[in-house]
Chain A
Amino acid sequence: MQQMQRSGQGVMQASQYARNLDNLEVGTTPADVVYQGRKLRLLHYKPMVEKMHPVPLLVVYALINRYYALDLQPDRSWVRNMLQQGFDIYLIDWGSPEPIDKYLTFDDYVNRYIDTFVDMVRDASGQERISIHGYCMGGTMSVMYATLHGEKVKNLYVTAPVIDVEKDTTVLGNLSKHIDADLLVDNYGNIPPEFMYLSFTILKPFKQGVNKYIDFVKHADEKDYVENFMRIEKWLYDTPAIAGETFRQWIKDIYQKNLLVKNQMKIGGKLVDLSRIDMPLLTVVAEDDHLVSPECSVPLNYHVSSEDKTLKVYPTGHIGMLASTYSQKHILPEIGAWLKERSYNHAK
């Protein structure tokens, strides 16, 4: 009886929190906006230590969900951790595409936007080549960029990039093979967020869809637990639309034809040849990743020509690689060490 009363109070409290979702602060690490387009922004984070490593790091986030996954809350912030390790960090906030953006392709994202931002970071830092970190779909775009503009990339660090989809074992990979991307894009233009929610909700419907809410009700009177939970929920349901033409390429060329790993994908008329990647490469994957299975990302390491390449597999999930206590304690110190060693001009 007592337990039922407690659960009832928890549910009531949960609805209060849900009403305040918009006021929940995320992405609080101080940053300057060094470029502001109609929607697109380039953030430059303020340093947290006196001595910084000279080679800056540009973060290319995915086009799905929002960039602040890297800075959800101070004690689990990827950005804050890397700043404290002395890295000079720039991050692309892609914003939300509007109907006018429906014709944006990977060519625009990679050869126009990323390239412009890389040039801006190079100019601001005075470095000929910079480090790039790409996460998930951003990892795939970083890989495309590195094949086409390798002369500007000193180090490439990717987390869960989508590379060889034939080896992908996720539900998302299975469903994507049967989606009529042409019909969707021709009809909707940009792919609406609702479509993305639908795809996410069937990924782990009980462990993540039901169990987490049962646990939430149990812990609804614990302030830290609730705030952490609500931040992740806010991030999960804050996904922008995807530019139509980019979605068409993403589904058809990558998920259905698997062109990327076959070195047959073209963007802006240029061939994306993975063997052109010869800079130091760090690939990070998670054993329990249900969005991009490790088997899908790992082949990158076997298709590049880099001599200095490292593959790290961690016992966590897709978002756990960025925003978890585990990541703060185990993943980021290792990544920082790898990157630091290669962030000086005398470095290999």
Chain B
Amino acid sequence: MTEEKSKSEEDNNQALKKMFDSWIETMNWIQNRTPGIPAVGPAAGLARNSVTISSELAQATESFTEFNKHLAQYYAKISAAWMEATRQVIAKCPMDISDEKAREQLKNVWIETFEQEFTTLFDSEDFAQVFGQMLKNEVKFNKHIRNLVEVISTNIGMPTRSEMDSVYKEIERIKNKLKEMSDNIRDLSKIRKETARVSR
């Protein structure tokens, strides 16, 4: 059943990927002709960047599909661990839980078993890979959207993140230079004091 399910998920993903690929091809075909569109003023920038814009959109969609694929795998693993832990708790739990002591015992068994099962899962190489891929595709999706905003911001004359980054970088360089200079001043003043002491 699980194998069938994962095969059908895989098929769905492949179909989606195929569909996006054909969209990308079509868009590229159209966009390669857009620079020919006569446009003046700000629209000229948008026309010039239309290839980048649609390419970023297509890549964002692709990353989102990949993210969903890994999210499904992530939940499948969580759900399998949950089922296994539940099975173990049922096997271990006392039959009669009418008194408080038995309920407390059940709670402790539940916590201990689930902790053990989930720690084993989170410690596994397999889970770490799925987690890493899920995170990677989420961030990639975010990256393409950011690139899109960057292109549009440039066209409408708004400050972009790249511009801010270069300012931050320059400030960091100046701060380091200042630290270096103040260290040199400190060392020089030490040498001066020492020289004055010796010559006295």
A residues near B (Cβ < 8 Å) are 3, 99-100, 102-104, 108, 112, 116, 119, 169, 171, 174-175, 177-180, 183-184, 186-189, 202, 204-207, 210-211, 214
Minimal beta-carbon separation of A255 from chain B (angstroms): 12
B124 to chain A, nearest CB (A): 8
Q: Which residues of A contact B133 (CB under 8 A)?
A: 178
Residues 107 to 124 of chain B near chain A (Cβ within 8 Å): 107, 110-111, 114-115, 118-119, 122-124
CB proximity of A269 to chain B, nearest CB, Å: 12
**Which residue of the partner chain, among B128, B139, B179, contacts A184 with CB atoms under 8 Å?**
B139
A-B contact pairs, 19 of them (CB 8 A): A102-B168, A108-B172, A108-B175, A112-B175, A112-B176, A171-B122, A174-B124, A175-B131, A180-B135, A183-B143, A187-B143, A188-B142, A189-B165, A202-B122, A204-B115, A204-B119, A206-B114, A206-B115, A207-B115
At the interface, yes or no: B17 with Cβ under 8 Å from chain A?
no
Q: Are B115 and A205 in contact (CB under 8 A)?
A: yes
Q: Which residues of A contact B186 (CB under 8 A)?
A: 119
Judging by beta carbons under 8 Å apart, are B139 and A187 in contact? yes
**What distance in Å separates the Cβ of B178 from its nearest Cβ neighbour in chain A?**
10
Whether A179 and B132, one on each chain, are in contact in the complex, defined by CB atoms closer than 8 angstroms, is: yes
User: Assuming A103-B168, A183-B140, A204-B115, is B128 touching A178 (CB within 8 A)?
Assistant: yes
Chain B residues in contact with chain A, CB under 8 A? 100, 107, 110-111, 114-115, 118-119, 122-125, 128-129, 131-133, 135-136, 139-140, 142-143, 146, 164-165, 168-169, 171-172, 175-176, 179, 186
Chain B: interface secondary structure?
A: helix
Return the contact of B107 from the options A169, A180, A189, A214 (Cβ within 8 A): A214
With beta carbons under 8 angstroms apart, the residue of B122, B136, B176 that contacts A175 is B122
For residue B136, which residues in chain A have a CB less than 8 angstroms away from its CB?
180, 183
